[in-house]
């Protein structure tokens, strides 16, 4: 069953010095995507500095691109054992600031720490990159003009922006299932909802959104996760479940889920966006 949620909206200045002075002692992470939430610690000053620098450089690059909407990724978790570089995507877009200008916001889904549920957040670029990153690197795909127009209208509408959200969460939810929904899955299902044909009544179901994604050639990542690893994860983490995967696939250790890498690769391939752009802070 699809549930609705109210946005959790936060803002953050993108000035690095201001962030260091005001946030180091105040931020205790309350929600994450694709990471363990065990024993959260306030971020170190150098972490805040690097995250805010990455946010500022991403902001500059997005401004220079002329885009109004992009699918934005971060590397919040080390997934190299699965051949993946990024862990989490959100929909970044320009929002009017009421003063004749605009600001960049990121709409994305985050798991509430220590639980099997999630909420939709609307944050600034600074907060998006302050989630204890594994690697200080961003990647994004500028959506095609027609897709930008539709997605921008959807993400700025509180009803449509949360229409695809399902609160029960598993970080490895089945790409074509409706029992759970992880963060990257919500993002592309929301994109699919925004691209629905004109005249189709709302709300669109998750099944209909997934049918559109399949028609557009989206292919989930198939992770190889053996039975012992699945059992250990299920017993120790509330935000991991495998029971929504088809038995034949699960028992052969094949877990098909929506990954950030697969989304970034699919959008240009489907003609929905430009080639992926990357930006990182390297020593």
- pLDDT tens profile 24-63: 222 233 555 544 455 556 667 888 999 999 999 999 999 9
Nearest to 239 by CA among 29, 2, 82, 34: 34
Q: Is 262 exposed, middle or buried (0-12, 13-18, 19+ CB in 10 A)?
A: buried
Query: What is the per-residue pLDDT across 55-108, written as a single tens digit (0 to 9) for each?
Result: 999 999 999 999 999 999 999 999 999 999 999 999 999 999 889 899 999 999
Distance CA 107, CA 91 (A): 5
- Beta carbons of 33 and 111 less than 8 angstroms apart: yes
Phi/psi at 177 (5° precision): -105, 170
In this structure, of 13-22, 140-149, 228-237, the range with the lowest mean pLDDT score is: 13-22
Predicted confidence (pLDDT) at residue 150 exceeds the cutoff of 90: yes
From the CB of residue 226, how many other CB atoms can be counted at a distance below 10 Å? 9
What is the arithmetic mean of pLDDT over 170-190? Answer: 97
Tell me what pLDDT residue 199 has: 62
């Amino acid at each position: 069953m699809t549930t609705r949620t109210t946005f959790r909206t936060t803002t953050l200045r993108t000035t690095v010095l201001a962030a260091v002075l005001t946030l180091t002692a105040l931020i205790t992470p309350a929600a994450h995507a694709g990471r363990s939430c065990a024993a959260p610690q306030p971020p170190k000053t150098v972490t805040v500095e690097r995250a805010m620098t990455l946010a500022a450089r991403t902001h500059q690059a997005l401004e220079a691109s002329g885009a109004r909407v992009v699918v934005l990724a971060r590397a919040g978790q080390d997934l190299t054992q699965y051949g993946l570089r990024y862990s989490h995507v959100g929909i970044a877009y320009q929002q009017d600031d009421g003063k004749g200008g605009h600001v960049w916001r990121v709409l994305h889904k985050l798991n509430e720490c220590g639980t099997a549920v999630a909420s939709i957040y609307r944050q600034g670029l600074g907060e998006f990159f302050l989630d204890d990153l594994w690697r200080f690197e961003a990647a994004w795909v500028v959506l095609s003009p027609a897709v930008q127009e539709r997605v921008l209208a959807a993400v700025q509408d509180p009803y449509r922006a949360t229409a695809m959200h399902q609160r029960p969460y598993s970080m490895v939810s089945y790409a074509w299932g409706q029992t759970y929904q992880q963060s990257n899955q919500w993002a592309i299902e929301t994109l699919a909802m925004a691209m629905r044909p004109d005249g189709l009544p709302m709300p669109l179901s998750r099944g209909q959104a997934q049918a559109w994604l399949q028609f557009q050639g989206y292919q989930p990542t198939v992770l190889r996760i053996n039975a012992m690893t699945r059992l250990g994860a299920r017993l120790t983490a509330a935000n991991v479940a495998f029971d929504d995967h088809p038995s034949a696939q699960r028992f052969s250790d094949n877990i098909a889920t929506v990954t950030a890498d697969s989304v970034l690769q699919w959008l240009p391939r489907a003609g929905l966006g430009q080639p992926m752009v990357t930006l990182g802070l390297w020593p």
